[in-house]
Amino acid sequence: MAEIVIVPDAAAAGALVADEIARLIRRTPDVVLGLATGSTPVPVYEALPERLQGLDLSSVRGFALDEYVGLDPAHPESYRSVIAREVIEPLGLDPARIRVPDGRLQGIQHAGEDYEAALGAAGGVELQLLGIGTDGHIGFNEPGSSFASLTRVKTLTEQTRSDNARFFDSIDDVPRHCITQGLGTILRAGHLVLLAFGDSKAEAVAGAVEGPVTASLPASAIQLHPHATVVIDEEAASGLRFADYYRYTFDNKPEWQGL
Ligand code: GLP
């Protein structure tokens, strides 16, 4: 099963995961990182600059999980813009080495295949950051997504559209379709790091970690991965049956094991 790490707050989660990313970049300067959007990974991105000081980041590569379909890439809430603003610019990464699925209507029929080909050519993602939707989605893999799915176009649930309406002027502006790495794509990454904060994620986290493995809760796919780490605050952990055991395990973890 996944390793569950319960931290006091989002900043502590950001520090823990940023340490691991910094370690990877030091070891492999052209590491391929799996980037996520939404509010959840922000504490990781904020913790990175301090840890990456003095490192040459010019060959770091990255692949985002997903993108809205039909939204102008220049729109401030396109995931291309979000990744540029939150990751590429503050860290000073080479924009040519950071890819986001292409959600433009022109070419959308082959955008999924193209993205898979680029991921394959890069040798795959080493560490994949993941948030989780209140309906249990990862990337934009909504309930019912096949565990074997690859990057493709999906229809957003109304719950996801309403959760994401806060980033737009009104819910009517939230696109209905997205292009997302599939669960099969995500499961190929070397290490999955799923983060979640707050009460609103407690039910989805409990289902993903302790519930049955089911396409009805796409994040439960992480149970199939040999190296998955779930970093959550107390609120997001509040639905877990075995929280005390997870705390005990982490507190007694041998130093050499790393994250
Ligand atoms: C978004 C993204 C996901 C993200 C999730 C949670 O719609 N597509 O990658 O993990 O929903 O978002 P947040 O982190 O803002 O709660």
**From the candidates 77, 142, 163, 233, which is the catalytic residue?**
142
Distance CA 176, CA 161 (A): 7
Question: For the stretch 110-145, what's the b/e string if a residue is b when 16 or more beta carbons lie within 10 angstroms of its beta carbon?
Answer: ebbeebbeebeebeebbbbbbbbbbbbbbbbbbeeb
**How does residue 202 score in pLDDT terms, banded at 50, 70 and 90?**
very high
Find the angle CA(17)-CA(21)-CA(26) to the nearest 5 degrees.
145
How many angstroms does the Cα of residue 137 sit away from the middle of ligand 1? 8
**What tokens does 71 get?**
């939204």
From the CA of 140, give the closest atom in ligand 1: 8
Contact 188, 120 (CB under 8 A): no
**pLDDT by residue (tens digit) across 206-240?**
999 999 999 999 999 999 999 999 999 999 999 99
Residue 10 pLDDT: 98
How many angstroms does the Cα of residue 181 sit away from the middle of ligand 1? 13
Contact 115, 101 (CB under 8 A): yes
Residue 139 Cβ contacting ligand 1 at under 6 Å: yes
* CA distances (Å), origin 206, targets 131, 180, 210: 14, 23, 6
Q: How many CB atoms lie within 10 A of CB 32?
A: 22
pLDDT above 90 coverage of the chain, percent: 97
Question: Is pLDDT at 33 greater than 80 in this prediction?
Answer: yes
**How does residue 185 score in pLDDT terms, banded at 50, 70 and 90?**
very high
The single-letter code of the amino acid at 67 is E
206's CB contacts (< 8 A; 6+ apart) are: 239, 240, 241
**pLDDT by residue (tens digit) across 1-18?**
799 999 999 999 999 999
> Could you give the domains of the chain?
3-238 (3.40.50.1360)
- Asked if 110 is an active-site residue, the reply is no
Question: Is pLDDT at 28 greater than 80 in this prediction?
Answer: yes
**From the candidates 77, 126, 135, 163, which is the catalytic residue?**
135
Strands (E), the chain: 3-7, 32-35, 61-64, 66-68, 98-99, 127-130, 152-155, 177-180, 191-196, 228-233
- Asked if 137 is an active-site residue, the reply is yes
Distance CA 94, CA 84 (A): 10
Residue 257 pLDDT: 83
**What tokens does 48 get?**
């990175």
- Asked if 142 is an active-site residue, the reply is yes
* CA distances (Å), origin 56, targets 24, 52, 93: 13, 8, 9
Mean pLDDT score of the chain: 97
**pLDDT by residue (tens digit) across 75-105?**
999 999 999 999 999 999 999 999 999 999 9
